[in-house]
């Protein structure tokens, strides 16, 4: 794992956007794996700025998002479809038929999950996968004890995840109990992974992901088995790393 500690949260988000933009310049037809959530908002804002400056384009790319809530139609105000339109798709030159999310309101959610997994495989799997991390160590909506061999499927959200995401709804009770999420094995098939974590609330999960044992109890720790992972952190999220000096020695200032 390459661990880049970047100082402030904005610098860290900019660094993640730089890696995505560089990949798009090198390989414009890349398949991007995309995440949602608070952490990604700054990454997408930085990517939109780079796109407007002519630094990167999305016209030849395609994308698959990690997850979607079961029961939410694409036009639901709290759906991840809506989030992606607001924070990225509506501002860059992605062709609409090249962006993909699971259909949250599909009549048979597991059949939809199977279809989505097959579509990712048919696209040749993800080129660059962007990830956030939950305070409980989840990636996508792979909650603790998710099988490290899991594929796209329906998962029950942890109470802590529903509480953390209540800020996007009118309250915790409105957050759906189920989501369709790429599995851990789906994510591990990506050619490269860029994970961004900011803030003290993520520090413990970050330390378990990088320095703890590989365990389904911390799903993000499965990334230790991947050959090309870059973890980008701000100072606060790096706060519990035992080998912080070492990472800073190798990549001063997160460069």
**Is the C-alpha dihedral spanning 23, 25, 28, 32 positive or negative?**
positive
For residues 175 and 165, the answer to whether their CB atoms sit within 8 Å is yes
| Residue 67 appears among annotated catalytic residues | yes
CA-to-CA distance for 55 and 232, rounded, in angstroms?
21
Closest separation in Å from C-beta 191 to ligand F6R: 19
Q: Which of 18, 51, 67, 142 is catalytic?
A: 67
Q: Which of 136, 165, 191, 235 is catalytic?
A: 136
Residue whose CB is nearest to ligand F6R in the complex, by number: 132
Closest separation in Å from C-beta 128 to ligand F6R: 15
CA-to-CA distance for 154 and 242, rounded, in angstroms?
35
CA-to-CA distance for 114 and 220, rounded, in angstroms?
22
**Which residues contact ligand F6R by CB under 6 A?**
35-39, 66-67, 132-134, 138-141
| Residue 143 appears among annotated catalytic residues | yes
Q: Cβ closer to ligand F6R: 30 or 65?
A: 65
The three-state DSSP-derived secondary structure of 126-187 is CCEEEECCCCCCCECCECCCCCCCCCCEEEECCHHHHHHHHHHCCCHHHCCCEEEECCHHHH
Q: Cβ closer to ligand F6R: 90 or 242?
A: 90
Q: Cβ closer to ligand F6R: 24 or 66?
A: 66
Q: Cβ closer to ligand F6R: 54 or 175?
A: 175
Q: Annotated catalytic sites, by residue?
A: 67, 136, 138, 143
């Amino acid at each position: 794992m390459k661990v880049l500690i970047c100082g402030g949260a904005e610098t860290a988000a900019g660094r993640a956007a730089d890696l995505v933009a560089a990949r798009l310049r090198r390989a414009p037809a890349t398949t991007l794996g995309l995440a949602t959530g608070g952490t990604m908002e700054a990454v997408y804002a930085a990517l939109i700025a780079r796109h407007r400056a002519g630094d990167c384009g999305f016209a030849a790319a395609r994308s698959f998002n990690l997850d979607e809530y079961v029961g939410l139609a694409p036009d639901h105000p709290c759906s991840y479809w809506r989030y992606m339109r607001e924070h990225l798709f509506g501002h860059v030159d992605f062709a609409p038929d090249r962006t993909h999310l699971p259909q949250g309101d599909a009549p048979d959610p597991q059949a939809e999950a199977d279809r989505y997994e097959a579509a990712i495989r048919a696209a040749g799997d993800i080129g660059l996968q962007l990830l956030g991390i939950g305070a409980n160590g989840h990636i996508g909506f792979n909650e603790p004890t998710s099988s490290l061999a899991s594929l796209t499927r329906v998962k029950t959200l942890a109470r802590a995840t529903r509480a953390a995401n209540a800020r996007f709804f009118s309250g915790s009770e409105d957050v759906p109990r189920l989501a369709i999420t790429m599995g851990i094995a789906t994510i591990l098939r990506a050619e490269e992974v860029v994970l961004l974590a900011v803030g003290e609330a993520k520090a413990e999960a970050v330390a378990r992901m990088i320095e703890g044992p590989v365990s389904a109890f911390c799903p993000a720790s499965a990334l230790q088995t991947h050959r090309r992972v870059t973890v980008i952190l701000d100072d606060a999220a790096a706060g519990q790393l035992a080998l912080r000096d070492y990472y800073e020695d190798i990549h001063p200032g997160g460069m």
